[in-house]
């Protein structure tokens, strides 16, 4: 909500009072006493949104009122502070435990700097969005003076791998394409599937105690699993987790949108519910381009900005739920120094936060097919390309250069998912930096010739009591279309899908077949007979 909208939602008396405070009404002002509510609101908004005028309005505030304005402007990332929490925090900071915090806020309300809105059953103090953009640089400057450092050698603790979240999501979903994953009675995947997925995600040595969720999964596996469930990419039915029909479209979708969905899910699941993490995320993302922010100093600054009363320590929540996950999503770089952790947002992080345009991303489009059937795949290939490769080859090594191998079984599995030897060979020829060896092409084609030579059909064996009866039925013009072949003197094979129709014809022709067990007729067929 912007300043004009906030003023229009307040009472006409309040708007006139604010306008009078700034000298906008009367003989020396620009508005007459009889001006309308809307005219007062427009005049105040035009006046306050000029930074110089806003600073003048702030100069009349005492230290406690300035502290309150700083808290409401910055806390929760600008989304507002619950009135009771705000009063309690102000009383705590001023050590005036019996003082009514509303008296401190009244000066801000009377100047039109702070407003009140209702969310559900709670009332919130907030600063309108456009006014917050004017006020926040002033307060952020004071925060950055004590928390930021110009590190000459900022060395991230991990190799930059911004492709990791999308690569891991493609591999994660592809695993469910190839395997049916059982779930134990406790609701947790069986250990083998967990171990396989952890190896794909590079989490073999991760501690389950660091999980963001109240489940027995390592953090990265838990995050991707619950994201996939929230988007309907996997489904859990009858004790099994299976890939849904939406998964392939998601993997092949726009990478920016996929990144944004991962970021938004993380933000909604772990940040929005924690006002202090909202505040820290907002401050970190506004860090000056050429500086890094000390996590320890930021936590210290949170002493005057925290409105949460969670029993868990903020430092633990900040590292586990904010820094670690945001670093994994490619939104943050983290450096470990003797003075603790320093963080700085990446261009990608600012883009996901909505502060700048998306940076250009370059995906590798080439692989290296070896004559020994191995395929070398850079970890920076697009998710769509990786999805295809993982369909017809086995992953042997997951590193900066991933190693896949073509096998008879991997090609067979791909053909079960609508691939053909021709499409596999065409893909390899189109994307390989090196010529595809003839033995590789030949093997793919040869393996493909075996596919489909054996098929399964649902048949029923019909037994006749004599050879003459079997011969008679084989020659009957109305019954013959239902018979596949004679498999013995008294036995005939029948298409299982036409069972009920065959029984009806036999009955109508006077043969009266015996029906029993699982093959009992439906009431409709009995009626026809």
% of the chain exceeding 70 in pLDDT = 92
Query: Which H helix or E strand runs over 18?
Result: helix 12-21
What's the mean pLDDT in 240-258?
A: 93
What's the mean pLDDT in 123-143?
A: 90
Full residue range of the structural domain in which residue 435 is found = 368-450
How would you class 94 by CB atoms within 10 Å of its CB: exposed for 0-12, middle for 13-18, buried for 19 or more? Answer: middle
User: Are 175 and 309 in a shared domain?
Assistant: yes
pLDDT digit string (tens) for 261-276?
999 999 998 888 888 8
Domain stop point among 428, 450, 472? 450
Looking at residue 115, which CATH number applies to its domain? 1.10.10.10
What's the mean pLDDT in 214-233?
A: 87
Supply angle C-alpha 83, 88, 89, rounded to 5: 100
**Rounded to the nearest 10 degrees, what angle do helices 83-94 and 101-110 cross at?**
110
Query: Which H helix or E strand runs over 262?
Result: helix 255-266
- pLDDT band with cut points at 50, 70 and 90 for residue 447: confident
Cβ neighbours around 307 below 10 Å, total: 20
User: Are 175 and 126 in a shared domain?
Assistant: no
24 pLDDT above the threshold of 60: yes
User: Are 107 and 183 in a shared domain?
Assistant: no
What are φ and ψ of residue 402, in 5° steps?
-75, 145
Judged by average pLDDT, the poorest of 20-24, 48-52, 512-516 is 512-516
User: Are 259 and 325 in a shared domain?
Assistant: yes
- Cα 147 to Cα 344: distance, rounded to the nearest angstrom: 12
pLDDT digit string (tens) for 452-487?
556 677 788 899 999 999 999 989 999 998 988 888
User: Are 165 and 190 in a shared domain?
Assistant: yes
Predicted TM-score (pTM) of the model is 0.81
Query: Which H helix or E strand runs over 340?
Result: strand 340-345
What's the mean pLDDT in 161-188?
A: 90
User: Are 126 and 173 in a shared domain?
Assistant: no
- pLDDT band with cut points at 50, 70 and 90 for residue 524: very low
Residue 206: the pLDDT is 58
User: Are 140 and 201 in a shared domain?
Assistant: no
User: Are 311 and 418 in a shared domain?
Assistant: no
What's the mean pLDDT in 494-521?
A: 79
User: Are 159 and 275 in a shared domain?
Assistant: yes
pLDDT digit string (tens) for 361-404?
889 999 999 999 999 999 999 999 999 999 999 999 888 899 99
User: Are 236 and 277 in a shared domain?
Assistant: yes
Evaluate whether 323 touches 331 at the Cβ level (below 8 Å): no
pLDDT digit string (tens) for 412-433?
888 888 888 899 999 999 999 9
Q: What is the domain count for the chain?
A: 4
- Cα 29 to Cα 22: distance, rounded to the nearest angstrom: 9
- Cα 204 to Cα 188: distance, rounded to the nearest angstrom: 17
Residue 94, CB-side half-sphere exposure with 13 Å CA sphere: 21
Looking at residue 480, which CATH number applies to its domain? 3.30.70
Domain stop point among 314, 329, 361? 361
User: Are 312 and 380 in a shared domain?
Assistant: no
Supply angle C-alpha 195, 199, 204, rounded to 5: 75
Residue 290: the pLDDT is 84
User: Are 224 and 327 in a shared domain?
Assistant: yes
Domain stop point among 326, 361, 396? 361
Contacts of 493 (CB under 8 A, 6+ apart): 459, 460, 461, 462, 483, 484, 485, 486, 487
> Which ranges in 22-151 belong to alpha helices (H)?
37-48, 51-59, 63-74, 83-94, 101-110, 129-147
pLDDT digit string (tens) for 312-339?
578 888 888 899 999 999 999 999 888 8
């Amino acid at each position: 909500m912007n300043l004009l909208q906030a003023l229009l939602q307040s009472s006409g008396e309040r708007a006139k009072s604010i306008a009078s405070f700034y000298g906008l009404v009367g003989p020396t002002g620009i508005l007459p006493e009889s001006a309308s509510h809307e005219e007062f609101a427009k005049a105040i908004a035009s006046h306050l949104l000029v930074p110089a005028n806003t600073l003048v309005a702030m100069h009349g505030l005492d230290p406690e009122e300035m502290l309150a304005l700083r808290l409401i402007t910055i806390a929760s990332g600008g989304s507002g502070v619950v009135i009771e929490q705000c009063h309690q925090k102000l009383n705590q900071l001023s050590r005036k435990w019996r003082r009514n915090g509303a008296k401190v806020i009244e000066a801000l309300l009377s100047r039109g700097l702070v407003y009140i809105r209702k969310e559900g059953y709670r009332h919130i103090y907030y600063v309108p969005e456009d006014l917050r953009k004017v006020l926040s640089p002033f307060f952020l400057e004071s925060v950055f003076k004590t928390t930021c450092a110009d590190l000459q050698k900022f060395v991230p603790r991990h190799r930059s791998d911004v492709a990791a979240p999308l690569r891991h999501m493609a591999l994660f979903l592809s695993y469910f394409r190839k395997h049916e994953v059982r779930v134990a009675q406790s609701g947790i995947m069986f250990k083998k599937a967990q171990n396989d997925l952890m190896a794909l995600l590079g989490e073999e040595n991760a501690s389950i105690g660091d999980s963001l969720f109240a489940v027995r999964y390592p953090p990265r596996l838990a995050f991707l699993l619950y994201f996939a469930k929230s988007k309907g990419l996997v489904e859990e039915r009858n004790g099994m987790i299976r890939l849904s029909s939406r998964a392939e479209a998601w993997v092949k979708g726009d990478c920016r949108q996929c990144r944004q969905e991962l970021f938004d899910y993380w933000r909604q699941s772990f940040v929005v519910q924690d006002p202090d993490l909202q505040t820290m995320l907002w401050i970190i993302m506004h860090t000056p381009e050429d500086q890094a922010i000390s996590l320890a100093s930021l936590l210290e600054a949170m002493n005057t900005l925290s409105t949460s009363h969670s029993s868990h320590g903020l430092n633990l929540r900040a590292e586990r739920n904010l820094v670690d996950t945001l670093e994994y999503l490619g939104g943050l770089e983290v450096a470990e120094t003797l003075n603790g952790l320093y963080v700085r947002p990446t261009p990608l992080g600012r883009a996901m936060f909505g502060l700048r345009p998306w940076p250009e991303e370059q995906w590798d489009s080439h692989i290296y097919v070896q004559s020994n059937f191995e395929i070398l795949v850079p970890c920076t290939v697009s998710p769509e390309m990786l999805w295809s490769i993982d369909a017809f080859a086995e992953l042997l090594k997951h590193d900066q250069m991933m190693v896949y191998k073509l096998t008879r079984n991997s090609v067979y599995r791909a053909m079960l998912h609508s691939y053909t030897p021709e499409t596999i060979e065409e893909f390899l020829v189109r994307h390989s930096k090196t010529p595809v060896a003839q033995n590789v092409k030949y093997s793919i084609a040869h393996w493909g010739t075996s596919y489909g030579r054996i098929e399964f059909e649902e048949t029923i064996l019909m037994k006749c009591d004599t050879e003459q009866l079997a011969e008679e039925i084989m020659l009957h013009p109305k019954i013959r279309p239902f018979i596949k072949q004679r498999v013995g003197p008294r036995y005939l094979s029948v298409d299982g899908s036409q069972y009920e129709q065959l029984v009806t014809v036999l009955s109508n022709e006077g043969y009266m077949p015996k029906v029993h067990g699982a093959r009992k007729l439906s009431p409709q067929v009995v009626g026809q007979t």
